[in-house]
A = this chain, B = another copy of it.
């Protein structure tokens, strides 16, 4: 994750695309987001993630297979519920679960 682009193995693998628009509520958000990243990295089948927010927020996490991705989704929902609900933080969000079939990388970096 040095460059912010996840290093992923040869396809196929699973991508979870989480796109969101935040509310103005910030209670616990940053702490919980950090905790989510730590938790994700500990899950079986975690391959990496990429994240950016600029108006809309996009986080893509990569998983060995759909089973691992769905297990992660269940954990996110459980933690979200414990934290009084993601509805406090998000005005809208969409989660998409996808199978990556092809991937192409271009790097001009001398070191990885």
Asked whether B99 lies within 8 Å of A56 as measured between CB atoms, the reply is no
Question: Is the CB of A96 closer than 8 A to any CB of chain B?
Answer: yes
- Taking CB atoms, residues of chain B closer than 8 Å to A101 are 66, 97-99
Chain A interface size, as a band, is 35 or more
Number of copies of this kind of chain in the complex: 2
Across the interface, A53 reaches (CB within 8 A) one of B54, B91, B97, namely: B54
Name which residue of chain B comes closest to A69, CB basis: B102
Contacts beyond the supplied A17-B17, A99-B99: 12 A-B pairs with Cβ under 8 Å: A5-B92, A5-B94, A17-B60, A19-B50, A52-B53, A52-B56, A91-B108, A94-B104, A95-B104, A96-B103, A98-B101, A99-B101
What is A's interface to B at a CB cutoff of 8 Å?
3-6, 8, 11, 15, 17, 19-21, 50-58, 60, 66, 86-87, 90-109
